[in-house]
Amino acid sequence: MTTTTLSPLAQKTKDAPKAELHIHIEGSLEPELIFRLAERNGVKLAYDSIEALRAAYAFTDLQSFLDIYYAGASVLLKEEDFYDMTMAYVERALADNVVHTEIFFDPQTHTERGVPIATVVAGIERALAEAEQRGLTSKLILCFLRHLSEDDALATFDAALPLFDQYAHRLIGVGLDSSERGHPPSKFERVFAKARAKGLKLVAHAGEEGPPSYIYEALDLLKVDRVDHGVRSIEDPALVTRLADTRVALTVCPLSNLKLCVFDDLTKHTLKALLDEGVAVTVNSDDPAYFGGYVNENYLATIEALRLGDDEVYTIIRNGFEASFVTPAERDAMIDRLDAHWRASA
């Protein structure tokens, strides 16, 4: 076994308290757990071994990933499946010193297989309540699948209405994910207006594969509080200035962008350029079981590829707390913890 020595900055980053703001819980499902749940639930998979499934994780774009991601999620049927999946993520997050996480889930992926949204949320919530006892706070964000119709999203929103009340401490927002190209944010203006009227937080994937105009639509039509990915904003200088001035954060996922060929090499990633322009970028894992790393692996790969310095890494970690959907007092307490760690480490 080889042991790699980490640079002092890499070590300090690994040990630092961090927030994660872009993680699809279904994307944390590791192949081993997919097979265990498939067996438990009698679900037949298109792959006959863990190795065969893992070998299929050679993606060429977002859609090639989504096809496998939805197949993986097909093993989730019962409350305890959602609990087990979430608990496995909680363990990885705690190991990476994540102290606060804001988790996406895709109810339509499950309701179309006959699993009620209440079952999905109950299982996730049970794990997150336990995580809270172990020092990991969290929020939950319900995402609409953009390849489906807005009417479908509206029906999903209505079905989830009692849950927004029952789980008001956890379920605090809505988001938009799945196939971006050809499904602009404007398609979901009405459902986001309803969510806004209910006082929910709003986020949307935009500018991952889609053009900067999708980021403008997310800001101007959906009125999002954060943009997920948003890396293609760099193509539009006026948009970069606007993002920097308004401090609307981008939840960037470097290893995801690499695996889905948004950039052909991590050294070409636009995160540092956006940071230099004053945009509130954060680092996150997206779908860690599929993209080769949880939060710390995303930080370490990015530090190395983009040669980030101490102040830059501090700013990115701090941005994660600044952009989180917690109370000002909770945010300040997390930043105090970060500052104490950062000062104490060389």
Binding mask 20-39 for ligand HPA (x = CB under 6 A): ----x--x------------
Between 62 and 128, name the residue whose CB sits nearer to ligand HPA.
Answer: 62
The least CB distance from residue 20 to ligand HPA, in Å, is 14
Neighbours of 268 (CB within 10 A): 12
Considering only residues 16, 29, 62, 252, which one is a binding residue for ligand HPA as defined by CB under 6 A?
A: 62
Q: Which of residues 90-129 bind ligand HPA (CB under 6 A)?
A: none
Considering only residues 286, 289, 301, 318, which one is a binding residue for Zn ion as defined by CB under 5 A?
A: 286
How crowded is the C-beta side of 252, counted as CA atoms within 13 Å?
31
Residue 111 near which of Zn ion, ligand HPA, none (CB within 5-8 Å, type-dependent): none
Task: Give yes or no: 26 in active site.
Answer: no
The least CB distance from residue 148 to ligand HPA, in Å, is 12
Residue 185 near which of ligand HPA, Zn ion, none (CB within 5-8 Å, type-dependent): none
Instruction: Tell me which residue of 331, 242, 318, 321 sits closest to 279, measured CA to CA.
Output: 242
Strand residues in the chain grouped as ranges (E)? 18-24, 98-105, 137-145, 171-177, 201-206, 226-229, 249-252, 281-283
Q: Which two tokens stand for residue 282?
A: 């954060």
Which residue is listed with tokens 């890396």?
Answer: 231
- C-alpha 73/C-alpha 75 separation (Å) is 5
Instruction: Tell me which residue of 111, 139, 109 sits closest to 27, measured CA to CA.
Output: 109
Q: Which two tokens stand for residue 213?
A: 């105009």
Instruction: Tell me which residue of 190, 178, 180, 183 sits closest to 221, measured CA to CA.
Output: 190
Q: Is 24 annotated as a binding residue?
A: yes
User: First-to-last CA distance in the chain?
Assistant: 28
Nearest residue (beta carbon) to Zn ion: 286
Binding mask 239-278 for Zn ion (x = CB under 5 A): ----------------------------------------
Binding mask 196-235 for ligand HPA (x = CB under 6 A): ---------x--x---------------------------
Tell me the catalytic residues.
208
Q: Which residues bind ligand HPA (CB under 6 A)?
A: 24, 27, 62, 69, 177-178, 205, 208, 256, 286-287
Known binding site: residues?
22, 24, 205, 286-287
